[in-house]
């Protein structure tokens, strides 16, 4: 499991980040995140690094495995054991072992809450400073693939 996905270490990391952000020390926060995610190895022999395209999980040989959806200046948080990832401009969901449970087929997806996630198609993003809003023509709700059905991971 990557260093800041769950547990006491993640709580410490998030508190340090919040404190640095509150003090306006964004450059220290960026350095802190870079160090944590570059040198933080996981129980699954995966690391989260930055390459020329952004954040990416790599295996022990340095081969790209999966690109996380970036939220709050870092990889998406795990909600109900799944986090969002991006592939070819679409979003899906993976677990901590990087097994894909929902393939990347949605233009946008919100995290799972109470076993459901809102997913959108035909979406566009509108930037407002450092933040972006997402507007979709079609919204749907999907059931959590682990707790809500008998789905198996995609790989």
Asked if 36 and 74 count as a contact pair (C-beta separation under 8 A), the reply is: no
Asked if 89 and 96 count as a contact pair (C-beta separation under 8 A), the reply is: no
Nearest Cα residue to 113 out of 70, 91, 135, 84 = 84
- Of the two residues 87 and 46, the one the predictor is more confident about is 87
Asked if 65 and 46 count as a contact pair (C-beta separation under 8 A), the reply is: yes
Please state, rounded to an integer, the average pLDDT across all residues of the chain: 80
pTM of the model: 0.67
CA 35/CA 19 separation, integer angstroms: 17
Q: In the predicted model, is pLDDT for residue 89 greater than 80?
A: yes
Nearest Cα residue to 82 out of 97, 71, 70, 72 = 97
pLDDT at 131: 82
State the first-to-last Cα distance of the chain, in angstroms, to the nearest integer: 18
pLDDT at 7: 45
Nearest Cα residue to 13 out of 71, 78, 74, 97 = 74
Confidence band for 152, pLDDT divided at 50, 70 and 90 = low
CA 143/CA 80 separation, integer angstroms: 12
- The length of the chain, given as a count of residues: 155
pLDDT digits (tens, 9 = 90+) for 17-33: 676 677 666 556 566 56
Residue 76 in tokens: 């998406």
Q: In the predicted model, is pLDDT for residue 67 greater than 80?
A: yes
Strand, coil or helix: 42: coil
Q: State the sign of the Cα–Cα–Cα–Cα dihedral 47, 48, 49, 52.
A: positive
Nearest Cα residue to 145 out of 90, 85, 80, 88 = 80
pLDDT above 90 coverage of the chain, percent: 46
């Amino acid at each position: 499991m990557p260093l800041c996905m769950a547990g006491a270490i993640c709580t410490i990391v998030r508190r340090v980040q919040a404190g640095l952000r509150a003090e306006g020390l964004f450059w220290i926060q960026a350095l802190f995140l870079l160090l944590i995610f570059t040198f933080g190895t996981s129980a699954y022999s995966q690391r989260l690094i930055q390459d020329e395209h952004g954040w990416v999980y790599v295996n022990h040989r340095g081969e790209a495995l999966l690109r996380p959806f970036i939220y709050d200046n870092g990889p998406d948080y795990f909600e109900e054991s799944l986090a969002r990832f991006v592939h070819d401009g679409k979003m899906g969901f993976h677990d901590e072992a990087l097994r894909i449970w929902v393939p990347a087929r949605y233009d946008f997806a919100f995290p799972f809450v109470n076993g459901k996630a809102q997913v959108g198609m035909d979406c566009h993003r509108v930037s407002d400073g450092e933040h972006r809003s997402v507007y979709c023509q079609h919204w749907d709700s999907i059931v959590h693939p682990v707790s809500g059905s008998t789905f198996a991971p995609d790989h």
